[in-house]
Structure 1
Amino acid sequence: MKNETEEMLKARHALQELSASDPAVSSNMLRYVAAYRIMLTGRRRGEQRQHDPRISGGFVLTHGEEALCAAADRLNGTDSIYIAFDVDDGAAPPVAAGIFRREGEQMMVYGDCRLWSPADDGRSLLVPVGGKYVGYFAHRPGKPLKFVDAALPGDFSAGCRRANARMQRLLASDELRERNGGGYLNIVRNDGPGISVKVTRVAA
């Protein structure tokens, strides 16, 4: 948001914290984060492994927040997948997903990515859409996300439908329906020359 005043910023952060304090919202975010991890990496549980992308859920980012997240991910040194939810309807499906990653000396943001699943029910891919990119991102165990500069190994629409169907099955599974909140809300802020993160425990 351009020309956002300090009062507007505080009001937006207060709305984010209020929405995240709703157990239905925090549970919904955690379930989608878990489902994305399963679909992209094939792993259901376990510790974060070296070079694994950091997958997180949050509210739709402003341009300034996007830049701050990119700066934070540069410091972390890992690729990041961000699943964005509407702050006014956080218990609904996400409205977007994107990737933050370092390429050379630049931090790149792929802001509109779709999940795509192969016909053999293997690991899903993330496909940037609506931009100049032709290709897709694939998870490689023990390595950063790989951008494959080639056409998808199948029809785009059919793969997106398979991904959506698999997502719905995972969200309805006993394993993910038991994810009942208890996560954390991170608000990234620019404090002068540095970056700070306010971490708030949300309701379980």
Structure 2
Amino acid sequence: MAADTITARFEKIFDATDKDNDGVVGWSDYEDMADRVGKAFEQPDLTEGSDRFHEIRVGNLKSSFMSFWLELEPYGKGSKKLSKEQFVTALSELASSDKISAFPKLAKRMCAFAIERDPIRTDMDQDLFVCLAKAIADAPESDVWAAFSQAGRHVPSGVGIDRAIRTFLTKPEPKMDPDPEVEPVLREAWEWEIGIGGMFFGVL
């Protein structure tokens, strides 16, 4: 049952990534995602050369997406595209190995990209995170805010990103503590990790 639950999450990631609904996921799907994130965080054209600087930033972001994609691509068996079954197999094997670090690394790079738009920022806030999640999911802002609210509206950073993504990819729903004072705390933490972890993959 636990494996089925996690498999269902992988299938949701596939569906969220396959925006053209052609039944396969390839580099073009991730390139489109990177372009959406880049467009969402375009910097105001205040100085000469700012457009070129943004192009470089987007290029670096795409390199991060490419590194992520190259972990998945071999599972396509030479076709350079993955069916849903191949995609689920890829995530299952990568998530159970030390290569799971590729997932939070990409998430952290996207957060850094969002923060870089404003030179006075040092951390994500709610608006930035929702803007990022909206670009990843290519979904209406109201849907993103609803998912974020359900997860508790706590903005992830650092270790929190790792924890949320690893929980979403590897952990079945835990048995809750029967203690009525402990159970709500565990439930809130679980819902945050699952909700936020999914949003980094476009799952709302």
Scaled to the shorter chain, the TM-score interval is under 0.3
Give the structure with the larger helix fraction: 2
* Bigger proportion of residues as strand: 1
- Higher RCO structure (Cα 8 Å, ≥6 apart): 2
Q: TM-score, normalised by structure 2?
A: 0.26
